[in-house]
Structure 1
Amino acid sequence: MTTVAAPADDPFAKDVLPAPKNAQLLLLRSLLHGHSRRIWIAAVLLLVQQAAVQAGPLLVAYAIDHAIPQVRHGRHGALIAVALGYLGCGLAAGVLQRSFIRVAARVSQDVLVDLRGRIFRHAQSLSLDFHERYTSGRLIARATSDVETIRELLADGLEELVGVVLSAVYISALLFFLDWRLALATLLSYLPLYAAIRVFQRRSMVAYRRRSTAIAAVIVKFTETMNGIRPVKAFRREEPNETAFAELNHRHERANGDAILEMARYVVGSRLIANVTIAGIVLWGAYRVTDGAMALGVLAAFVLYLRRLYDPIDRLGMFLNSYQSAAASLEKIAGLLAQRPTVPEPDEPRPLPERSTRTPGRDVVFDGARFAYRTGGEVLPRFDLRLPAGQTVAVVGATGAGKSTLAKLLARFYDPTDGRVLLDGVELRDLSRADLRRGVVMVTQEAFLFSGTVAENIAIGRPDATREQIESAARAIGAHEFIAALPDGYDTDVRKRGGRISAGQRQLVAFARALLADPAVLILDEATSSLDVPGERAVQHAMHTVLRGRTAMIIAHRLSTVEIADRVLVMRDGRIVEDGAPGDLVAGDGHFAGLHRAWQDSLV
């Protein structure tokens, strides 16, 4: 089999993951699906609201040219009607805008809830190799800062955009209604404005993509440092970390400054075009008024419309500002959601046969299994192994021998590159996720506990367990005494990563969790390597209880853990070089015998 070399341009090293063409548009469309009724209501409300807003200058023109001259002859009705009409348009515009904001806010909040949920669900569904290559800090950035950027666009930017576009359409039509000559002159200014917008859009997209990447790097560094605060303190890494963080922080500052500078260039250029256009229109219009070719009220209304047309230019720039930033964020989220699990759920799962009444374990077979990581060489060449139901097998060997890879294949964190792994004759690829997790459970060295009570952490493998069942599992493991001594017993909050209790106690909770889950196959991945001698003895006692009758694979560095195994496998370079009962291998002169002698000498 050929080895898989690390790609020269690893997409996981970048902040933007590859995605299919139009992935952003498809994601946005799917998010808005189901909201079409509200979107249409919001559109109608905004159309009517803009009509009410744009009626104002027409009323002003009528007042100047018709209503005010009638006042000189004692007729006030037309002016009163204009004033009431202006007031009515203002009130209608306010009520309609309030209604639009409520409908649009409901849509935007539903979209954001949906998006956050998708990110969380999809991140959980992705396989372990993705999470080992794409940092948790980047995932946090996708679900926080990137979603927040999209929220800002939905909350303010879309209203600005639609308002500006509708305003431009309404005003352009009204300008031609008032005076087609001046309207044509106004249209000429659209060309340089369009050019300015296009230049800003192109340049700002690059700037905002850099800014989004820079803030993600800041979040990654901050998250990694806080998660690793113990080694930071132990190795006095505060100053180097501060230096590295300051560099990332300054990089974000520069990227943010570049984005602001692009915005400033756009605003200055667009205002210059607008002011020159208005000045030219006013001069030409004044000349036509004095020449009698145009009414004063019409010119006043025309200038008011011009101000309304050009004033939103800055707001349009702000929208483009939000849009570019949101587009960069949406691109990254779409790239994340486009990733597919490398360990997929089967289309037609096969059920496991009924468990034997003689033993709760199941047969495990590695049939010609090969494995190579995407970014590295082959870890397991052709590998064949059978673990009979109920047998406890210890796997030992030097670092990099392939022990943990073997455990990950059995837990189906990865699929073999070639060959099969079978559980009671059923290939793991054909098992549903639920059957697999009921059949195979791994207890790791870390014994990760979530924030929450001790009881909740024990019940993770069996959420419907009663308190009596939870306590029974803890008693069987030997964890009940220390749990009962905690301030709130089983209801004690273990806090972040279980930091309220010791490493040995966390491991006992993890074993109680495994016992309660009642798996057929249990994998212990260096479960005692970080414990002191008393803690190791307590855990070894728990292991006897948990492993009874089950098929078990123990990945071990400490040979004291191996003593409880029925069989020992010694691995080297992905192959089994020794296989036998612990006593038989100790009595021989092989690799395991040498390890055992060295271990006994260390005890002396």
Structure 2
Amino acid sequence: MSTASVTGTSGEDRSDYTREESRAIRRRSLRLLGSLVSPLRWQLVLAAAVLVVSTAFRVAGPALIAYGIDNALPAVIDRLDWMPAIGVVVVYLVTAIGGAGLIGWYVVVSARLTQAVMLDLRKRIFLHTQRLSLEFHESYTSGRIISRQTSDLDSIRELLDGGLNELVTGILYGVFTLVALLLIDWQSGLILVAMGVPLFLLMRWFYTRSQVVYRESRVISAQVIVKFVETMTGIRAVKAFRKEPRNDDEFGKLASDYRDVNMRSIRLFGTFEPALMAVASTSIALVLLWGGIRVVGGGIEVGILLAAVLYIRNFFSPLQEVAFFLNSYQSATAALEKVSGVLEEEPTVPDPVNPVDLWTARGGIRFEDVTFGYSDAKVILPDFSLDIPAGQTIALVGTTGAGKSTLAKLVSRFYDPTRGRVSLDGVDLRSMHPKDLRRAIVMVTQEAYLFSGTVADNIALGKPDATLAEIQAAARAVGAHEFIEALPDGYGTDVNKRGGRVSAGQRQLISFARAFLANPAVLILDEATASLDIPSERLIQDALQTLLADRTAIIIAHRLSTVAIADRVLVMEHGRIIEDDAPAELIGGDGKFAKLHAAWQESLV
């Protein structure tokens, strides 16, 4: 199993990583960051050059003030020579205005860099999560995916937008300030260097403590989002089972935990900021004391002392922003770890390296010694073999957990068998070109999902270039035309707008029309009539018989009325076929299907 699998899906919301896991995660995050920044390296060079020049202009101010006080001002007083003073003022204005202009340019350049990185990252997450196999989506909750695309990306954006700029600017400004201070007064510079020891210890303490707090913050934040999304998604079940009070308690506990971890971070800042101010004030006091002694003794000029004090103050002023960067950095680092974990997940059903084209499929399906189980769970299909000739309609019947839906997922290649192979017209599904596979095999599930857009758009999902006449013909074939025409805008009705809402049964009919318009060689109906009432189900029986003609069909149904149209019934139990014959033959026997059929008839009386 890859590192991504260990730390991306199952371990990404933990805060107790081992040292080796933490190193692997950091390497993974750095790889992602490098791949995002690499195409923008020349823009980074431009931003760096602009930042260096603008910082140099800003740092020149106190030195110019010192020159003005110690040299230009005496020239005016002693000789009425205004040229040095005018020169200092002009240079000061040029550096100030030039520095401000360059900072403005840097803000624009860095903003473009940030937006370019975020656009690339947002698209990568969306495209990659679409490409991942069904196994990933069945184990990775929708709330966690939403968290990756929303709160985690927002944390990274905040880091790139403000935090990183503050860090780079602060460090560069601090280095330039220290160099300038050492050049104009090396003794004051040594005092600042000495005060760097307690400053380093303070910054290290804050970084270490905040690293733990902000990792916990990201974990709990994700849990809050997951709980909210799951509750709103399953609101019908919540209300049906009166789960509101229990949800209130569970969400309240998560919200309280989130508040507590945020309070811990606030207390950290409440300790850090006063301590930083104390170090800064002590440094200024020491420079003033030692500088004043030297001024009295004639060792330095007053202007030099003023410049030294200004440099000390300027050195400490951006450190608060650096501390805020640590806030953003911790949050963004945790977010980047999770995002990189998702992006390093590999599809468990990969596309073939050398795909085999199958332009026209007949529909013959064959299972050859197939063994399959989900992840590390028990085997669902043990040593399973089955031959479905092209054009035959089979019905799969059996108790829950018998392996019916698993068989359908293997035919659709949502999963690959652990051993053995599943083939279409003699071609292993693992070798088929993905476009040919999706065109040849279509599954309609009980969960009929409608996407944003019109009814016509939803029917044409598998055939985007279909004409309105083709769309209407498919709807008529499944008995959906009449209710669609009754909608406010007919086939042009937006399914997500007021007046465009449709019932569960109507959504299922639209999904039938969608599948039939795609015209696959193999059609799989996985409990597809479960949302239809008895009249609606009877309405499409004739349409099903017509549309399933000359096409391979696999019908999974608990309603035995749907099974009647099959050429062949397979009764499954514990991943094995225990009965296999025509419906009439099985009904006339004394096997399990006959008992199921008898029980179903009694339920109708």
TM > 0.5: yes
Q: 2: CA distance between counterparts of 1:174 and 1:144?
A: 44
**Distance in 2 of aligned mates of 1:223 and 1:159:** 34
Quickly say closer, same or farther: Cα 1:432–1:203, change in 2 above 3 A. Answer: farther
- Greater mean alpha carbon deviation, residues 262-271 or residues 214-223: 262-271
Amino acid at match of 1:33: S
Equivalences for 1:231-380 in 2 at 5 Å? 231-352=237-358, 354-355=360-361, 361-380=362-381
CA distance in 1, matches of 2:450, 2:498: 5
Query: Cα distance, 1:160 vs. partner?
Result: 0.7
1:554 is matched with 555
Amino acid at match of 1:514: A
Moved more, 13-22 or 498-507: 13-22
In the other structure, the counterpart of 2:420 is: 419
Q: Does 1:109 align with 2:107?
A: no
**8 Å contact kept, 1:65–1:296:** yes
Contact 1:68/1:79, CA 8 A, preserved across alignment:
yes
Distance in 1, Cα, partners of 2:8 & 2:213: 23
Aligned residue for 1:568, secondary structure, equals strand
Residue 161 of structure 1 aligns to which amino acid in structure 2? L
Is this contact kept in 1: 2:527–2:556, CA < 8 A? yes
Matched residue type, 1:47: V
- Say how many residue pairs are matched: 593
Structure 2 CA distance, aligned partners of 1:124 and 1:134? 13
Amino acid of the residue matched to residue 452 of structure 2? S
Residue identity in the other structure for 2:379: E
Aligned residue type for 2:94 = G
Q: Assess if the C-alpha contact under 8 Å between 2:475 and 2:513 holds in 1.
A: yes
Task: Map 1:458-469; keep pairs closer than 5 Å.
Answer: 458-469=459-470
Return the match for 1:54 from 51, 59, 62. 59
- Please, which of 13, 16, 34 is the counterpart of residue 15 of structure 1? 13
Q: 1:514 to 1:497 in 2, by over 3 A?
A: farther
Between the aligned partners of 2:186 and 2:8, the Cα distance in structure 1 is 59
1:498–1:506 contact (8 Å) kept in structure 2: no
Q: Where do 5+ consecutive residues of structure 1 fail to align? A: 1-6, 356-360
Aligned to 1:599: 600
CA distance in 2, matches of 1:211, 1:344: 35
Equivalent pairs: percent with the same residue? 52
Q: 1:9 to 1:23 in 2, by over 3 A?
A: closer
The SS at the match of 1:72 is helix
Do 1:486 and 1:492's aligned partners in 2 also have CA atoms closer than 8 Å?
Answer: yes
Report the alpha carbon displacement of residue 10 of structure 1 after superposing the two structures with TM: 11
Name the CA shift for 1:11/1:492 in 2 (closer, same or farther; >3 Å): closer
Contact map agreement 1:562 1:568 (CA 8 A) in 2: yes
In structure 1, the residue corresponding to 2:145 is in which secondary structure? helix
**Alignment map for 1:101-250 (pairs within 5 Å):** 101-250=107-256
In the alignment, is the contact (CA less than 8 A) between 1:52 and 1:90 conserved in 2?
yes
In structure 1, what is the equivalent of residue 103 of structure 2?
97
2:533 alignment partner in structure 1: 532
> What does residue 407 of structure 2 align with?
406
How far the C-alpha of 1:21 sits from its partner, in A, is: 5.8
Per mean C-alpha deviation after superposition, the further-off stretch among 527-536 and 419-428 is: 527-536
SS at match of 2:336: helix
Judging changes above 3 Å, is the alpha-carbon distance between structure 1 residues 455 and 353 closer, same or farther for their aligned structure 2 residues?
closer
Amino acid at match of 2:577: I
**How far 1:252 sits from its partner (Å)?**
1.1
> Partners in 1 of 2:400 and 2:552 — Cα distance?
24
Q: Taking structure 1 as reference, are residues 267 and 499 closer, same or farther at Cα in structure 2, changes over 3 Å only?
A: farther
| Equivalent position amino acid for 1:585 in 2 | L
Q: Say which is worse superposed, 346-355 or 383-392, in terms of deviation.
A: 346-355
Amino acid at match of 1:362: G
Query: Distance between the aligned counterparts of 1:102 and 1:470, measured in 2?
Result: 49
Aligned to 1:3: none
Does 60-69 or 531-540 show the bigger shift? 531-540
CA deviation vs aligned residue, 1:105-143 (integer Å, no higher than 9, x gap): 111001101111111111111111111111110010011
**SS of residue matched to 1:22:** helix
Contact 1:449 1:497 in 2 (8 A): no
TM-superposed CA distance for 1:227, in Å, is: 0.8
Checking the alignment, whether the CA contact within 8 Å between 1:209 and 1:325 is kept in structure 2 is yes
Contact 1:524/1:555 (8 A) holds in 2: yes
Distance 1:276 1:159 in 2: 28
Q: Residue 271 of structure 1 aligns to which amino acid in structure 2?
A: M
Q: Deviations over 1:245-300 (max 9, x none)?
A: 11111111112222222233322322222221221111011111111111110010
User: Secondary structure at the residue paired with 2:253?
Assistant: helix
C-alpha distance in 1 between matches for 2:589 and 2:135: 39
Deviation at 1:432, TM superposition (A): 2.1
Q: SS in structure 2 opposite 1:430?
A: coil
Give ranges in structure 2 of 5+ residues lacking alignment: none
Q: Residue 86 of structure 2 corresponds to which residue in structure 1?
A: 80
| Contact kept? 1:450, 1:498, Cα under 8 Å | no
Given that residues 368 and 383 in structure 1 are in contact (C-alpha distance below 8 angstroms), is that contact kept between their aligned partners in structure 2?
Answer: yes
- Deviation sequence 1:503-525 (CA, Å, 0-9, x none): 22111111111111111111100
Rounded Cα–Cα distance in structure 1 between residues aligned with 2:207 and 2:409: 47
Q: Name the CA distance, whole Å, in 1 between partners of 2:271 and 2:461.
A: 56
Whether the 8 Å CA contact 1:457–1:509 is kept in 2: the answer is yes
Q: By how many angstroms is 1:9 displaced? A: 11
Residues 9 and 32 (structure 1 numbering): CA distance in 2 closer, same or farther, change over 3 Å?
closer
Cα distance in 1 for residues equivalent to 2:555 and 2:56: 74
Give the Cα–Cα distance (whole angstroms) in 2 for the partners of residues 166 and 325 of structure 1. 23
Note the alpha carbon deviations across 1:27-85, whole angstroms, 9 max, x for none: 00111121111111111111111111111101110111011122223222222222222
- Identify if the C-alpha distance between structure 1 residues 375 and 254 changes in structure 2 by more than 3 Å, giving closer, same or farther: farther
Q: Structure 1 residues 546-555 or 385-394, which shifts more?
A: 546-555
Of the structure 1 ranges 102-111 and 183-192, higher mean CA displacement relative to structure 2 is found in: 183-192
Contact conserved, 1:477 with 1:545, CA < 8 A, in 2?
no
Distance 1:157 1:563 in 2: 66
Alpha-carbon distance change, 543 to 603 in structure 1, aligned in 2, over 3 angstroms: same
Partner amino acid, structure 2, of 1:69: P
CA distance in 2, matches of 1:324, 1:589: 68
Amino acid at match of 1:52: F
Is the contact made by 2:223 and 2:254 (CA closer than 8 Å) also made in structure 1? yes
Query: For 1:382-401, what aligned pairs fall within 5 Å after superposition?
Result: 382-401=383-402
| Structure 1 runs (4+) greater than 3 angstroms displaced | 7-11, 16-21, 496-499
The answer on whether the counterparts of 2:8 and 2:340 sit within 8 Å (CA) in structure 1 is no
Distance 1:508 1:552 in 2: 17
The answer to whether the 8 Å contact 1:152/1:322 transfers is yes
